[in-house]
């Protein structure tokens, strides 16, 4: 049963989508003509070694919108919670914020951090994950957040990503969209600065002599990021016989297939 779907990607930080799921999001847009939305929960205000929080908030927001344009996203929405403190927000508030957008855009698919993957060390990622799965599961139920302007809506699928994937057996071939993924990632200039600065900091801490890294102009990092992303996703793709791939734990959120033993809902890729 072919139908046009709507996708909502819920992330903690402005570059989470690009690192983990942008190739798949781009395929949803380019090949399926699906409407894809992104909800970024934090303001990225602490992700830099050199910029102030005020500078980061402004720059990161602008770059997130530009990255969304590269991927063809319908909208990039910024919730603006403080970076690094998402776990301090009342869970009911955060769940309601995510659910409100699910209902507003009528999302059939959610994508986000896996709420049950192991070894996730970032509190923002863990908190975003739990808020997203709870919002998706309760979104069709009218007694949850009856104050929402949009009507209840049933999400039927989820694509969960993780730093350390668990039970993640869905591999999406992104060979056709890896260039878009990298282009979108490089729009996050302040976060690519952070990536390079973090690598330099680690090298210094362990006493590693890496002249190429230490002498790298932080504004000439494109080739390094390009190489790193291609290498990482080639390794993932090798597991599934693909040139480049992204990896997810795919989940059916509804009841019909489980109750009837059918395959009414199937992954798009």
Query: 156-201: per-residue pLDDT in tens?
Result: 999 999 999 999 999 999 999 999 999 999 999 887 777 777 777 7
Phi-psi region of 24 (alpha: psi -120 to 50; beta: other; left: phi over 0): alpha
Select the more confidently predicted residue: 217 or 251.
Answer: 251
- Within-domain flag for 268: no
Residue 265 domain-assigned (yes or no): no
pLDDT tens for each residue of 11-62: 999 999 999 999 999 999 999 999 999 999 999 999 878 888 998 999 999 9
Q: Which whole number is the average pLDDT over 217-232?
A: 83
Which residue carries 């699906």 as its tokens? 34
Any domain includes 1 = no
The helix-helix angle for 178-186 and 53-71 (nearest 10°) equals 160
Does 266 map to a domain? no
Q: Is residue 171 situated within a structural domain? A: yes
Strand partners, 66: none
pLDDT of residue 1: 54
Summarize pLDDT for 64-118 with one digit per residue, the tens. 999 999 999 999 999 999 999 999 999 999 999 999 999 999 999 999 999 999 9
What pLDDT score was predicted for residue 218? 57
Any domain includes 190: yes
Exposure class string for 193-230: b at 16+ Cβ within 10 A, else e = bbbbeebbeeeeeeeeeeeeeeebeeeebeebbbeebb
pLDDT value, residue 101: 98
Answer whether residue 123 shows pLDDT above 70: yes
Q: Is the pLDDT of residue 2 over 90?
A: no
- Does 53 fall in a domain? yes
Domain with 210 in it: what CATH number?
3.40.50.10320
Residue 267 lies in a domain: no
Per the structure, the count of domains in the chain is 1
**What is the span of the domain harbouring residue 138?**
6-260
pTM, two decimals, is 0.93
CA separation for the pair 66, 13 (Å, rounded): 15
Backbone angles phi, psi at 266, to 5 degrees: -135, 155
């Amino acid at each position: 049963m072919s139908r046009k779907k709507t996708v909502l990607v819920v992330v903690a930080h402005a570059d989470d989508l690009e690192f983990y799921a942008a190739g798949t999001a781009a395929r949803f847009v380019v090949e399926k003509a699906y409407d894809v939305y992104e909800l970024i929960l934090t303001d990225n205000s602490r992700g830099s070694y050199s910029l102030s929080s005020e500078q980061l908030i402004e720059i990161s927001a602008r770059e997130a919108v530009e990255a969304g344009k590269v991927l063809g996203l319908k909208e990039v929405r910024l919730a603006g919670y403080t970076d690094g403190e998402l776990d301090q927000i009342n869970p009911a508030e955060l769940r309601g914020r995510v659910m409100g957008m699910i209902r507003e855009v009528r999302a059939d698919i959610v994508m986000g951090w896996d709420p049950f993957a192991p070894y996730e060390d970032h509190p923002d990622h863990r908190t975003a994950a739990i808020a997203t799965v709870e919002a998706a599961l309760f979104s069709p139920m009218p007694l949850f957040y009856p104050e929402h302007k949009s009507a209840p809506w049933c999400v039927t699928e989820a694509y969960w990503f993780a730093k350390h994937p668990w039970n993640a057996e869905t591999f999406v071939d992104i060979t056709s969209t890896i260039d878009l993924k990298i282009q979108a990632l490089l729009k996050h200039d302040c976060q690519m600065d952070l990536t390079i600065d973090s690598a330099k900091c680690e090298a210094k801490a362990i006493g590693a002599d890496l002249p190429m890294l230490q002498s790298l102009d932080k504004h000439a990092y494109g080739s390094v990021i390009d190489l790193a992303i291609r290498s990482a996703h080639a390794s993932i793709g090798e597991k599934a016989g693909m040139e480049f791939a992204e990896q997810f734990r795919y989940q059916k959120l509804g009841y019909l297939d489980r109750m009837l033993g059918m395959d009414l809902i199937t992954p798009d890729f």
